[in-house]
Amino acid sequence: MIHFNPWRDFNDAPLQEDPFGVEPDAAQLSVFLDVVFGYCEGLIPVRGFVDKGQGRDGKPNNIWIYADGSAFDKLKTFATWAWREGAALYVIPGTVAAQGQARAHEVIQMQAVIVDLDAGDIIAKLGHLVHYLGTPTLVVESG
């Protein structure tokens, strides 16, 4: 495993002005980690990259962090780096056994039902899910 040093690897970028006034929310990040990984063991695959259409190129930055007490600080550091770089941050909602893994068949543990609603009548689809599965513990909105 490559050693992840948050102060060397991700905190050396200069601050950029955020036109939306949005920055990573540590409290929400803590809730997310607890709901999605609170009982999992293994490595959490995380990917940060600039979305297409922003006029900037860059290679993806991938990290794997242990689903343990250190996950919050490491993910918070990585999220802050992604925010400063204007990069998207993606977290695979399950753990894997080894660095370099992140494909569906490599996920060894999940503790949440993940549903991606991003097209069509989202409100109706959410209502359908709530009717049959109950109120969600956590809803993540992005875009």
| CB contact at 8 A, 141 and 118 | no
| CB contact at 8 A, 118 and 62 | no
Give the pLDDT of residue 61.
87
In a domain, 36, yes or no: yes
In a domain, 91, yes or no: yes
How many domains does the chain fold into? Answer: 1
In a domain, 132, yes or no: no
Condensed to tens digits (0 to 9), the pLDDT of residues 106-127 reads 999 999 988 888 889 999 999 9
Percentage above 70 pLDDT, the chain: 79
In a domain, 128, yes or no: no
In a domain, 46, yes or no: yes
Q: Which domain holds residue 86?
A: 6-112
Would you say the pTM of this structure is higher than 0.75?
yes
3-state SS of the chain: helix, strand, coil percent to 5? 30, 15, 50
Residue 27 pLDDT grade (very low, low, confident, very high; cuts 50, 70, 90): very high
